[in-house]
Structure 1
Amino acid sequence: MLCFLKGMAFVPFFLVIWSSSAFIISYLIAVFFGHVNPFLPYISDTGTVPPESGIFGFMFNFSACLGAATIYMKYKMVEKQNQTCYFSNPFANLVALVVGLVACFGMGIVASFQELSLPVIHDGGKLLVFVCGVMYILLQSIISYKSCPQWSKISICHIRMAISTVSCIAVIPMIACASLISITKLQWNPEEMDYTYHVVSAISEWTVACSFISFFLTFIQDFQNVTLKIITEINEC
């Protein structure tokens, strides 16, 4: 347990624990009240109806903030490592930062605008989360390989690339099948025409979401060697 408290490792560790809890708690409450079918609801379905909508919104907005903090710290870490020993074009690190923050912004939209109330805005935010999120972890995987072996272990690089590959594959049917669904609703019947599209899209969505959590879990070891300093300077009037 102490390894999670070393350096700044607690930041990605807390992000993983908090986000996982958000998924589980929202799902359990939604199923308990009968608002969704227990079998493969969309993630957003578990945060659409009160009381779970309030918990979903609060927890995922906080996850977005934790994600943004983690992504920015990772950007500064790679920037510092690259200055010490050049291994990658700084532009790639900057692009990763931008798409990562856009994904966090999309998460805030998803958490704040429920899918049945404002579906267009909600779906737009979801698209930002998953597309930009997949781009972010793919870029970070590439950067990890470039920084190997000095700053990254080859085993971690392989794990990150495997997670990124699964996400890239899963995000395609997620978007394609979701676009073929004619109506947005919480309860699904296996006999309905769009049910197969819903199942494939939901499986893909949960796969990508779990991949994101797994990917940030690999940041914990990197962050153990990082310290954050805040310098205050006061200029005289």
Structure 2
Amino acid sequence: MLCFLKGMAFVPFLLVIWSSAAFIISYLIAVFFGHVNPFLPYISDTGTIPPESGIFGFMFNFSACLGALTIYTKYKMVEKQNQTCYFSNPVANLVALVLGLVACLAMGIVASFQALSLPMIHDGGALLVFICGVMYILLQSIISYKACPQWNKRSICHIRMAISAVSCTAVIPVIACASLISMTKLQWNPEEMDYTCHVVSAICEWTVAFSFIFFFLTFVQDFQNVTLKIITEINEC
């Protein structure tokens, strides 16, 4: 357990644990109160109606903050590694940072604007989360290969790329099937016309979401040897 407290490793570790808890707690509460069907609701559906909406909003906004801190720390780490031994164009690292931060901002939008009350804003935020998030982990996987073997083990690179491939494959049905659904609702009947599209998109949505979690879990070992320092400078008037 101490390895998760070494250096900055606690940041991605906490992100993974907190985000997993957010998914599970919101789902259990929504099912307990009968607000969603137990079988494959959308992630956002488990945070639409009180009391789970408050828990969903709070926990996922905090996840967005943890995600932003993790992404920024990874950016600074790669920047420092690249200065020590050049292996990648710095622009790629910067683009990854921007994509990751946009995904975190969009996650805050998803958490704050419920699917039934403001569907256009909510869906727009969700679209940004998926697209920018998948592009971020794919780009980070490529950077990892470039930093191998000095800064990354090849096995970790393969794991990250496999997770990225799963995410890229799953995000397409999420967007395609969700766009074919003609209504926004929480309770679904297998006999309804859009039910198949709902099931496919929900499966792929949960797949992408947990792919993000498993991807950030691979950062834990990297972050054990990283520390960030805040330097305060006061300029005289």
Q: TM range, normalised to the smaller chain?
A: over 0.9
The Cα of 1:108 is off from its aligned counterpart by: 0.4
Residue type matched to 2:122 in 1? H
- Confirm or deny that 1:70 pairs with 2:70: yes
Aligned pairs (5 A) from 1:147-158? 147-158=147-158
Alignment partners' CA distance in 2, 1:158 and 1:6: 24
Q: TM-score, normalised by structure 2?
A: 1.00
Aligned to 1:99: 99
The Cα of 1:228 is off from its aligned counterpart by: 1.1
Alignment partners' CA distance in 2, 1:132 and 1:232: 33
Q: Specify every segment of 5 or more residues in structure 2 that has no aligned partner in the other structure, as ranges.
A: none
Aligned pairs (5 A) from 1:150-229? 150-229=150-229
Aligned to 1:6: 6
Alignment partners' CA distance in 1, 2:123 and 2:233: 43
The Cα of 1:51 is off from its aligned counterpart by: 0.2
Aligned pairs (5 A) from 1:49-64? 49-64=49-64
Q: Any idea what the Cα deviations from partners look like across 1:63-109, whole Å, max 9, x if unmatched?
A: 00000000000000000000000000000000000000000011000
The Cα of 1:184 is off from its aligned counterpart by: 0.3
Residue type matched to 1:61 in 2? N
The Cα of 1:37 is off from its aligned counterpart by: 0.2
SS at match of 2:213: helix
Alignment partners' CA distance in 1, 2:189 and 2:98: 40
User: Relative to structure 2, which stretch is displaced further, 200-209 or 225-234?
Assistant: 225-234
Residue type matched to 1:63 in 2? S
User: Relative to structure 2, which stretch is displaced further, 42-51 or 226-235?
Assistant: 226-235
Alignment partners' CA distance in 2, 1:201 and 1:222: 33
SS at match of 1:42: coil
Residue type matched to 1:88 in 2? S
Runs of 4 or more off by more than 4 Å in structure 1? none
Alignment partners' CA distance in 2, 1:93 and 1:42: 32
Alignment partners' CA distance in 2, 1:236 and 1:94: 33
The Cα of 1:162 is off from its aligned counterpart by: 0.1
The Cα of 1:161 is off from its aligned counterpart by: 0.1
Residue type matched to 1:146 in 2? K
Residue type matched to 1:21 in 2? A
Alignment partners' CA distance in 2, 1:175 and 1:128: 11
Residue type matched to 2:124 in 1? G
The Cα of 1:168 is off from its aligned counterpart by: 0.1
- Confirm or deny that 1:42 pairs with 2:42: yes
The Cα of 1:47 is off from its aligned counterpart by: 0.1
Aligned to 1:123: 123
Residue type matched to 1:93 in 2? N
Q: Any idea what the Cα deviations from partners look like across 1:161-188, whole Å, max 9, x if unmatched?
A: 0000000000000100000000000000
The Cα of 1:213 is off from its aligned counterpart by: 0.1
SS at match of 1:41: coil
Residue type matched to 1:175 in 2? I
Residue type matched to 1:99 in 2? L
- Confirm or deny that 1:233 pairs with 2:233: yes
Aligned residues: 237
Q: Any idea what the Cα deviations from partners look like across 1:166-211, whole Å, max 9, x if unmatched?
A: 0000000010000000000000000000000000000000000000
SS at match of 1:186: coil
Q: Any idea what the Cα deviations from partners look like across 1:101-145, whole Å, max 9, x if unmatched?
A: 000011000000000000000000000100000000000000000
Q: TM-score, normalised by structure 1?
A: 1.00
Q: Percent identity?
A: 89
The Cα of 1:54 is off from its aligned counterpart by: 0.2
The Cα of 1:25 is off from its aligned counterpart by: 0.2
